[in-house]
Amino acid sequence: MARRPVIIDTDCGIDDAQAIMMALAAPDIRVLGVTCVFGNTSVENVCQNVLRVLDVCERQEIPVFRGSGGPLVGARVATTDHFGTDGLGDVFKDRDPLWEQKVQKEHAVSALIRLATENQQQVSLVALGPLTNLALAVRLDPGFPQKLKDLFIMGGNMEGKGNVTLCAEFNFVMDAESAYVVLEDFLCRTYLATWEFACRNALTWDFFNELVSQNAPAAVFMRTVTSRCRAYSQEASRSQRDVHFGPGFVSYDAYAMAACIDGGVVTGSIECPVRVELQGAMTRGMVALDRSGELKKSHSVVVLTGCDAEKLRRLLVDAVRQPRR
């Protein structure tokens, strides 16, 4: 059976790295390319992080494309340094002086359009960061979404609970206009793995510690990049009790990637029109779910609600048993 072509659009931080590794380990997935966008760190750091992940997994043949360095409109929003200033925990002192030569000359947005055009209605696009590259792609080629098989997004929310503002999630806050454009103009089948969805389906820290205690290169890499933020993450997860999520290990981007790799990971969903709020002082970037038809939209989005934890764990375990081709 032919492997399914996938493009990954990422702002490669630690959880993005885990998601990318999952895709590389999946036997029926063929990663056509990785497009980079600002978010967890600068787009230059993102490119270097992706190249580092591909090196660890011995998959240097996969092309990496540099994309948007800031949002569609306005100045870039200041970010926290939860994943370090470089997105991977600031644990690596060595930098590849030749990294720019390893990144493709073609811009990420052009690559998205080209790869979708060359593989009409076959490509699954997995978006793990701010949606700027995707918004620019549909503005350059309005037919771009129809060329995709489907779209999986990690971002947004479904209950108005935020992780960087009162009501909105990081990826959508970083470029709310692009999130709005994508969820309005992408008419392909679209799946949304929200922040609350990930939090409500957290895994245990015992599982995570066992996951990164292995000696395979990918496991050692994950153990290294999480070495400085692990204690903070565990404490932060415990504090989530006050918003009814409960403590646990949450690799946010892995949920969207898992849904792409194995549809059986998804055990529940809500299908309805959605809209991203742009105007509210406290709600900018929030996703509104329209369950009553008020928006009069013909296009619905699949908002994920339930997750098969065992299948997710299995994909994460497979991801650190690199290399695999």
CA-CA distance, 289 to 312, in Å (whole number)?
Answer: 26
Round the CA-based radius of gyration of the chain to a whole number and report it.
18
Residues 6 or more apart in contact with residue 250 via CB below 8 angstroms: 198, 199, 202, 203, 237
Task: Please indicate whether residue 11 is annotated as part of the active site.
Answer: yes
CA-CA distance, 79 to 77, in Å (whole number)?
Answer: 6
Question: Do residues 12 and 40 make contact, with C-beta atoms less than 8 angstroms apart?
Answer: yes
Name the active-site residue from 11, 86, 262, 318: 11
Find, among 50, 41, 48, the residue nearest to 78 by Cα: 41
CA-CA distance, 289 to 307, in Å (whole number)?
Answer: 20
Residues 6 or more apart in contact with residue 55 via CB below 8 angstroms: none
- Active site amino acids: 11
